[in-house]
Structure 1
Amino acid sequence: MEIRTLEHTPLPAIVACFIKAFDGYFVKVSEDVNYYAARWKAAMVDFDSSYGMFDGEQLVGFVLHAVDTRFGMRTAFNDGTGVLPAYRGRRMVQAIYEKAVPELKAKGIAQLSLEVIQENAVALKAYEKVGFRIVKEYACFKGILLARADAAMQLEATTFDHMEWDKLPAPAMQAWEHQPESLRGGAFKYYYVWREGKRIGFFVVQPENGYLARLDAFTEIEADWNALLLGVSQLCNLVKHNNVDVRQAAKTRFLEKHGLTRYINQFEMGMKI
């Protein structure tokens, strides 16, 4: 078997391996090649810096890396790791990283990052053996929003370029795919929410599927959080909001109070190289 970058591997072959590797996973994955093409492009996946394990010409394992400068540091974010069931137990992930780390470092990358479901003990142990350590804890929510009517709430539609990103709360608490650099390339809609003449919060959403990439009120006032979630519910009632940093205790409390339930817990792990 051979480890090499994925720059010359056709996207359908990568997606086919991805789907087989995640069959029976904690959450169901899409089988749409176009979905992955759009998602990985937005996340800034660099196939020259992503690696596959090949048995002959068959891709049997992979690590996909998105590469960008975030918070002043050149970072490679693991946007997907998988091994076909028949090839598990052979330390493939560790072997891929053994090859990848010096090559990524030579490209000027100083930090590696990834997310892993907390209940996935096998993956967690494998990453720890590579040298990753837990740096954040996330909760993922979904459900039907239950917000009270509020005649004082108003929605203001805006665009990515008109969002005041430097004034939004908790930038360092956001997951890779929810940071502005990743959102720019996605199919998102952007909204500020007003109440009683004051801008009280904002959200970033894909209305067609109810996916909330960003959501925050500027206060911990319950009426403001209700107005914020009421604004979301006018576009989509059934929503999913992943990777909420658990340090945002007020946000977690209001999400649960307004109908959402925690369905997955994740760790963000990091490693300097």
Structure 2
Amino acid sequence: MEFKTLSHITIDELLSVFNHSFSDYVVPFHLTKEVLISKIAAEKLDMSLSAGAFEEGKLVGFILQSEKIENGEKIIYNGGTGVVPENRGKGLVRKMYDFIIPILKERNANTLLLEVIEGNQPAIRAYENLGFCIVRRLLCFNGNIKHGEENAGILIKDLKDFQWNILRSFWDIEPSWQGSVFVLEPMPENYITLGAYDGEQLAGYIVYGSAAKKIYQFAVDKNYRNRGIGTMLFNAIREKNNGQTIALNNVDDSSENTSKFLSEKIGLNNWLSQFEMKRSI
């Protein structure tokens, strides 16, 4: 078995191994080539920081990773770990980390970050054995947006740029990696980003990726809560995507108001929960 970065791997080879690895997952799923390319771009996954296990030159396991600096901390995010069924039970995830961590240390990385499905006990135990600790629980929602009552005094318009100092002031919870400022900035053209305005005053916003059919962020100014502004933002997305099913992943479960709003007002289903896990390098 040989361990290398994925710098020279083709997208077709990665796609084949990715889908084979997740074919019997806790939540089985299958990516198209276009979706995998989109995932790599959206999550800013870096193949030179990603590890692969190769048997006779053939990829049989991988850890896809990205890097960001936040508050002086260099964080390495695991955007997906997989091992093909035929090569499990050989400790390949540990061996891939053993290979890649010295490379990350050379880059002065401080922290490893990942998400794991709450019910996937073997994976949770494996990551705990690697030194990871659970730091928070994240809720994943999906479904069709339920049309809600409008507020006649509020206007929904395109949000032309991200003024993060203002938008951050609306937050109750920190977004996970996929909805982080690092991932969303600069604003890609394929995101629908809307603001809710009371006159000239921005009172709330929402960021939607039409390709993935995902809400990446939404928030309402604390001074404008309970006025139907969040409902109007979701109504606008419902209209723009013709009522198709949407997803909103990794909502910090410490915000009971957010999860209650999504379930009761918007009509989404909390179909899955994950743990965010971290360890120091």
Q: Does the alignment reach a TM-score above 0.5?
A: yes
1:4 deviates by 1.1
Structure 1 residues 126-160: Cα deviation after superposition (integer angstroms, max 9, x where no partner): 1111111111210001112223232334211023x
**Runs of 5+ in structure 2 lacking a partner?**
none
The corresponding residue for 1:247 is: 254
SS of structure 1 residue aligned to 2:254: coil
CA distance in 1 between partners of 2:249 and 2:211 (Å):
16
Q: TM-score, normalised by structure 1?
A: 0.92
Matches within 5 A, 1:128-207: 128-150=128-150, 151-159=152-160, 162-168=161-167, 169-170=170-171, 173-184=174-185, 186=188, 187-194=190-197, 198-207=201-210
Asked whether the 8 Å contact 2:173–2:255 carries over to 1, the reply is no
- Given the superposition, is the C-alpha separation of residues 122 and 155 from structure 1 closer, same or farther in structure 2, using an over 3 Å criterion? same
Alignment of 1:1-273 (within 5 A): 1-150=1-150, 151-159=152-160, 162-168=161-167, 169-170=170-171, 173-184=174-185, 186=188, 187-194=190-197, 198-207=201-210, 210-219=213-222, 220-221=225-226, 223-236=228-241, 237=243, 238-258=245-265, 259-273=267-281
- The question of whether the paired residues in 2 share the 8 Å contact of 1:141 and 1:264 is answered with yes
Q: Distance in 1 between matches of 2:154 and 2:25?
A: 40
Following superposition, the deviation at residue 197 of structure 1 comes to: 6.7
CA distance in 2 between counterparts of 1:200 and 1:231 reads: 15
Task: Give the letter aligned to residue 260 of structure 1.
Answer: L
Deviation at 1:222, TM superposition (A): 5.2
Distance in 2 (alpha carbons) for counterparts of 1:65 and 1:264? 23
Query: Is 2:156–2:195's contact at 8 Å kept on the other side of the alignment?
Result: yes
Q: Distance in 1 between matches of 2:106 and 2:212?
A: 40
Deviation at 1:24, TM superposition (A): 2.9
Runs of 5+ consecutive residues of structure 1 not aligned to the other structure: none
C-alpha RMSD of the superposition: 2.0
Q: Deviations over 1:47-74 (max 9, x none)?
A: 1111111111111111111112133211
2:185 maps to a residue whose letter is R
Instruction: Count residues in correspondence.
Output: 271
Using structure 2 for the length normalisation, give the TM-score.
0.89
| Contact in 1 for aligned 2:173/2:252 (Cα 8 Å) | no
Equivalent AA in structure 2 for residue 272 of structure 1: S
- Indicate the SS of the match to 2:31: coil
Once the two structures are TM-superposed, the CA of residue 226 in structure 1 deviates from its matched residue by 2.5
Q: Is the contact made by 1:189 and 1:205 (CA closer than 8 Å) also made in structure 2?
A: yes
